[in-house]
Copies of this chain bind each other. A is one copy, B any other.
């Protein structure tokens, strides 16, 4: 029985990868599968659940199961961080989206004690505080990313970095004004399943992992000046890096 559900799922998967079923298409429902394969309703349901668990399909309440639409947002790290991007007054984020519109929601700017991991990355002393900028990005009505930046409070406390809108070129532009221009970056990526809280924060459907990216920005002196912890909906992002030997 379980074997049969798997065979039906294999079949549906083949139809998706061959392009017979394309993103956004409705996958044959339980009654159709019951008719087509002569199986019990429970077996048909299990086959559909397998596709949903793999993230290949999504369920819409009261409507059925659909091939997941994956319209990736390319996240080109080098382009994002290139000085000719933010140096010329652009937001880093613009590079990701081309013509697509994004909205920043839930922006919060405040001073606080750093998480231990952040304190370590920023090489802060015990009692030092950070300025935290956290926000969520929404593209075409869907939340796609949460990003939380941490900067040493002693360096940026008096600057526009503590304002909701830090001005043209964003916080990297302001860091440059302060003589703390970021010139090198390390990004560390990890993928995992979200917690329930993260899942609701990014309105993730079942079977969608998240990508965590932790970026550290360094000045020319090698001083860590910002840590940005990002949580991305893995269903919409493709991360791209250019490297030289």
Binding site for B on A (CB under 8 A): 6, 9-10, 13, 50, 53-56, 72, 77-78, 81-83, 182-196, 207-211, 234-235, 237-245
Name A193's closest neighbour in chain B (CB-CB).
Answer: B55
Contact check, B190 vs A234: say whether CB atoms are below 8 A apart: yes
Copies of this chain, how many?
2
Residues of B within 8 A of A185 (CB): 242-245
Chain B residues in 8 Å Cβ range of A53? 193
A183-B245, A243-B77 in contact; A209/B193 too (CB < 8 A)?
yes
Distance (Å) between the CB of A245 and the closest chain B CB?
5
Determine the residue in chain B with the shortest Cβ distance to A235. B192
The listed residue (B78, B188, B207) touching A238 by CB distance below 8 A is: B188
Q: For residue A240, which residue of chain B has the nearest CB?
A: B188
Looking at the complex, which one of B13, B56, B186 makes contact with A242 (CB distance below 8 Å)? Answer: B186
16 further A-B pairs in the complex, CB-CB below 8 A; given A55-B192, A189-B239: A6-B196, A10-B196, A81-B245, A83-B245, A185-B244, A185-B245, A189-B238, A189-B241, A191-B209, A191-B210, A191-B234, A192-B209, A192-B235, A193-B209, A209-B209, A241-B243
